[in-house]
Chains A and B, each alone.
Chain A
C-alpha cells in the first residue's frame, strides 16, 4: 500500500502528541517539523513542532501577537517557511502554492471575515465547490449537458452545506447582508465545500455572544463527526478551547511554550505566566 510506505518514512512522533483513541489510522494528518519563518530580523515563528490526528480537534492559543495567524499562513502557503517542513498526510507541501495546498486538503477561514460580499450566500458555497465541479469553459458557454448536470449536483450539495449551518433560508441573500455570526458560519461552510481533510478556523467565535458560541462549539464537533476531518482552531475564548479541543498548543513570541490536553495546559505554569505575567503565577 502506498499509504503504508509513506507512513514508514515519517519520523517517530513526539511523545506529547495526542492522536485520538478512536482514530484507526494513527498516522497524523498534519505534521510540522521545526517550522519557522523570519520577517527581516524578527523570528515570527520558530521551531514549531505540531502534529494533528485525523479526527482531532486541536487548539492553537497564545497571547496577541504570538504568531498564531502566521502559523495558519504558513500552513496555507500564504507565506513560505524559512525553515522546517510541513507534511500533510505524509506529503511535503514545500514549493506548493495556496491553491495547490487547498486541493491537497487544507481549507481555512479568516480572522477578518473574507466572504465574497457581493454574491449570494449560495454562490459563496458554489465557489467553494469550484474544484469538485468538472465542466469545461466550452460546456459552460455553450450550455452543454455536462454544464446542467454539474450545476444541478453542485447546487444540491451547496444547499446541504448551507443547511448544516442553518443558512438554507438565506441562500439567495447577498453574503454581505448577513448578520456577523451568520457570516462566520457561511465562511466555515464555504471552507468545508472544498472537501478538506484539515480545517483551519481563525477565531471562529470572535464577536459572538455566549449562546452563539455554544452553538458554534456543537457545530464544530458535529462537522468533525460528520466529515471525519481534523480541525485546528485559533481562539481566545477559553471556554470554547477547553470545551472541545483534545490537544492544545500554546504559542508565545513565536515559540511553543506548552503542548498537551486541556487539563495539562490549564495547570501549566509557563502558560499562566504568558497570559498573566510572573506576578500572576505567584498568586495562582
Chain B
C-alpha cells in the first residue's frame, strides 16, 4: 500500500500550492489589503486555472488536441448564469445557488461534450483538433442567435430572432448577441478555490485508477491498448466528457463574476489562450497548469504601466520562457540542482 501512488508527492505539492495561495490571499481580501484590480481578478484566475486543468486532461492525459475548449466554457457560462437567474427567488443562499449553477453547468457541458465527442473522437491528431475548433465556433454562433425567456408559464426558446412571446412580467435571460445581462454576481474566491480543488482531486484520482491508466494507454499506443482489451472509443469519450464538465463548471464560475456575459467572449482566442496555459505549464503537469494559468492571467494586468506595448511584452516574455524551459543546457542545470524525480519516487 505504501508504494501504491508514484505521483503521490507531486500531487500533494500541487494541493499544497493551491491551498497556500488561498490561505494567504483570502485573509488579505477580508482585511482589504489587496488592490481592487487583483481582487477583481481572483475569480477569473480560478476559472482559468480550472479551464487549464480541464484542457490538460484532454491534451496531456488523453493526448488529443482540442482547439474548441472555450465552447464548453461557453455552454457552462450560459447554463450556469441561466440557472442562477432562474433560481434567484427559489434559493436564497448565494453559495448554494452558486454550487447548483456550477453543477448544472457541468452537466450541460458534459452533455454537449458527449454529443460532440461522438463524431469528433473517431478522428485523430490534427483532424480532431480542426473539428473541435469548428465545434467551438458552432457553439458560439448558436449562443449568438439564441433567445431564452422565462415567465410564469416557464421557459421560452427561439432561434435567430426574438419570437419568445414573453408575458409582461417575464424576463428575457439570453438575448441573442446581447448575451445575458443582470447576472447575480454570486461567484466567490472561495467557490473558485473549491472548484480547483475538486478538479485536481478528480484528475489525480482518475489518473491513478483503472480508467485513467486505460486513457493513458490509448494515448501512448492505441494498437497495444486494443490488443490488451481496452475499448478505445469508450475511454476517449470518458476523458473528453469529464474534461468538458470541468470546463462547463469553470465557465459558470466565470460568468457569475460579471453582470453580463456574451458568446463572443468564448471564441477561438480564448481556446488558444487556455491551450497556451497548458503548453506553458507542461502537458500532463497539473501544477504547471495551475501556475501558468494564474501567472499568465495576472501578467497582462501587471504590464499595464507599459500601456500600448504590454501585449508585445507579454508575447516576448512567453517566447523567452518557452525557449528557456526547452533549453537543454538549462534543463541539465535544473536536473543537477533538483534530485531526479524517479529517485525521489523510489525513496518516498
| A6-14, A26-34, A131-139, A269-277: which lies at the interface | A131-139
Q: Is the CB of B4 within 8 A of A119?
A: no
Q: Is the CB of A116 within 8 A of B229?
A: no
Q: Is the CB of A118 within 8 A of B227?
A: no
Q: Which residue of B lies closest to A177 (CB)?
A: B342
Q: Is the CB of B228 within 8 A of A107?
A: yes
Q: Is the CB of B221 within 8 A of A114?
A: yes
| A82-90, A97-105, A205-213, A250-258: which lies at the interface | A97-105
Contact of A140 among B205, B229, B231, B345 (CB under 8 A): B205
Please tell me the size bucket of the interface on B.
20 to 34
* Given A99-B229, A99-B230: A130 touches B214 (CB 8 Å cut-off): yes
Contact of B221 among A116, A123, A173, A191 (CB under 8 A): A116
- Shortest CB-to-CB span from B294 to chain A, Å, is 25
* Given A116-B220, A127-B230, A191-B228: A141 touches B210 (CB 8 Å cut-off): no
Contact of A130 among B205, B228, B342, B345 (CB under 8 A): B228
CB neighbours (8 Å) of B345 from chain A are: 172
Q: Is the CB of B229 within 8 A of A133?
A: no
CB neighbours (8 Å) of A127 from chain B are: 213-214, 217, 225, 228, 230
Q: Is the CB of B238 within 8 A of A117?
A: no
Q: Which residue of A lies closest to B214 (CB)?
A: A130
Question: Would you call A194 an interface residue if the criterion is a C-beta within 8 Å of the partner chain's C-beta atoms?
Answer: yes
- Shortest CB-to-CB span from A95 to chain B, Å, is 16
Of residues 224 to 248 in B, which have CB atoms within 8 Å of A's CB atoms?
224-232, 238
* Given A127-B217, A140-B211, A151-B4: A107 touches B206 (CB 8 Å cut-off): no
Of residues 177 to 212 in A, which have CB atoms within 8 Å of B's CB atoms?
190-191, 193-194
Contact of A102 among B1, B206, B221, B228 (CB under 8 A): B228
Q: Which residue of B lies closest to A195 (CB)?
A: B229
Contact of A126 among B201, B213, B226 (CB under 8 A): B213
Question: Would you call A110 an interface residue if the criterion is a C-beta within 8 Å of the partner chain's C-beta atoms?
Answer: yes
CA distance A193 to B323 in the complex (A): 43
CB neighbours (8 Å) of A131 from chain B are: 229
Q: Is the CB of A141 within 8 A of B228?
A: no
Question: Would you call B223 an interface residue if the criterion is a C-beta within 8 Å of the partner chain's C-beta atoms?
Answer: yes
- Shortest CB-to-CB span from A223 to chain B, Å, is 16
Residues of A within 8 A of B (CB): 76, 78, 97-99, 102-103, 107-108, 110, 114-120, 123, 126-128, 130-131, 133, 135, 137, 140-143, 147, 150-152, 154-155, 172-174, 190-191, 193-194
User: Can you offer 15 A-B residue contacts whose CB atoms are under 8 A?
Assistant: A107-B228, A108-B227, A110-B224, A114-B227, A115-B224, A117-B220, A123-B213, A127-B213, A127-B225, A130-B217, A133-B210, A141-B209, A142-B205, A151-B209, A172-B345
- Lowest 8 A-B CB distances belong to which pairs? A140-B209, A102-B229, A114-B224, A116-B220, A98-B226, A127-B217, A133-B210, A131-B229
Residues of B within 8 A of A (CB): 1, 3-4, 6, 201-202, 205-206, 209-214, 216-217, 220-221, 223-232, 238, 342, 345-346
